[in-house]
Amino acid sequence: MLSYKHGYHAGNQADVLKHICLIQAYKSLKRYHNSISYIDTHAGSGNYSFKSDYMAKNKEYENGISKLESYKYENQSIKFYLKVLRNINNSKKMTFYPGSPSIMSYLSDSSDKLIFYELHNNEVELLKKHLAKKINSKVYNKDGFEFFLEKINQKEKTLVLIDPSYEIKDDFEKVVKTLKILNEEYENVTAMIWYPVLNIENNDLFIENIRKLGSNQITRIELPLKKYNEEVGMKGSGIILFNGSSFLINNMKDCVKELYQIYKDENCNIKPKVQRI
């Protein structure tokens, strides 16, 4: 039984990093491919109203999107992300935070094919309603980890977002196994896998397990938020990028530096990372 609801966390710093990277990943692929397939293995419900009970409970967005809304500097990835969010909201002032399905639905054109997996019964119903009029989208109420590989057509360029809730501890192991398969069999896929940094030992182990796969196509993008050794809470978040172009990696380098300046805890002495592993 799944209890995680993304509404409690929508628009937080982790969403900001993930969605900027997702937008840039899509844009970098569309430079060279007229159409792509997109698979979102853990889609959520689509949109999250700032006034909902979930969002109002922890108000995680106040340390995330709210701190970025008045961004006045020059990073193009951040500026474009804000423009996308405002356009989806149809207003300069946002009333809801758009999740990955909304963002991709907005960005994509009719030649792209979008596939969404969501296991939670209520969330999937909301998502189906939300995407009902989108003819390039299909929503499945199935386990995304288990079924997404069967939707990959090796002849098409495919972007995959794997964004588990890590409610189940073995999600970390599943991520490593999935990367192994992608690395061995799916060279036409670009994948982004989101992960939370919960503590430094486990995070090092997770990264080491990925390093051991021996791929030269994997980049770690990580944004520390608090001192890693504090006992509670998420200390940061990251994205394991598989088969990202140098255009995308360079954009993310600049962007992560900028986000770090905006979000860093004053006690934080750890630098953000965008590095091949």
Residues of this chain that interact with ligand SAM (CB under 6 A) are: 2, 4, 6, 18, 40, 42-44, 99-100, 117-120, 123, 143-145, 163-165
Token pair in block for residue 5: 């609801």
Give residue 176's identity as a one-letter amino acid code: V
Cα separation values, 276 from 24, 204, 239, 246, Å? 18, 15, 12, 11
- Closest residue to ligand SAM, judged by C-beta, is 99
Q: In the complex with ligand SAM, which residue's Cβ is closer, 162 or 268?
A: 162
Contact by Cβ (8 Å): 95, 103: no
**Distance of closest approach, residue 41 Cβ to ligand SAM, in angstroms:** 6
Q: In the complex with ligand SAM, which residue's Cβ is closer, 117 or 260?
A: 117
Give residue 198's identity as a one-letter amino acid code: L
Q: In the complex with ligand SAM, which residue's Cβ is closer, 99 or 224?
A: 99
Residue 208 parent element (H or E): helix 200-211
Q: In the complex with ligand SAM, which residue's Cβ is closer, 40 or 60?
A: 40
Contact by Cβ (8 Å): 125, 113: no
Q: In the complex with ligand SAM, which residue's Cβ is closer, 39 or 270?
A: 39
Beta bridge partners of 139: 116
Q: Is 139 exposed, middle or buried (0-12, 13-18, 19+ CB in 10 A)?
A: buried
Cα separation values, 250 from 71, 226, 275, Å? 20, 24, 10
**Distance of closest approach, residue 12 Cβ to ligand SAM, in angstroms:** 10
**Distance of closest approach, residue 74 Cβ to ligand SAM, in angstroms:** 26
Q: In the complex with ligand SAM, which residue's Cβ is closer, 118 or 222?
A: 118
Instruction: Enumerate residues 6+ apart whose C-beta is below 8 A from 260.
Output: 223, 224, 271, 272
DSSP output for 30-48: HTT-S--EEEESS---SEE
Q: In the complex with ligand SAM, which residue's Cβ is closer, 100 or 190?
A: 100
**Distance of closest approach, residue 148 Cβ to ligand SAM, in angstroms:** 9
- How far apart are alpha carbons 243 and 267 in whole angstroms? 34
**Distance of closest approach, residue 34 Cβ to ligand SAM, in angstroms:** 25
**Distance of closest approach, residue 144 Cβ to ligand SAM, in angstroms:** 4
**Distance of closest approach, residue 61 Cβ to ligand SAM, in angstroms:** 12
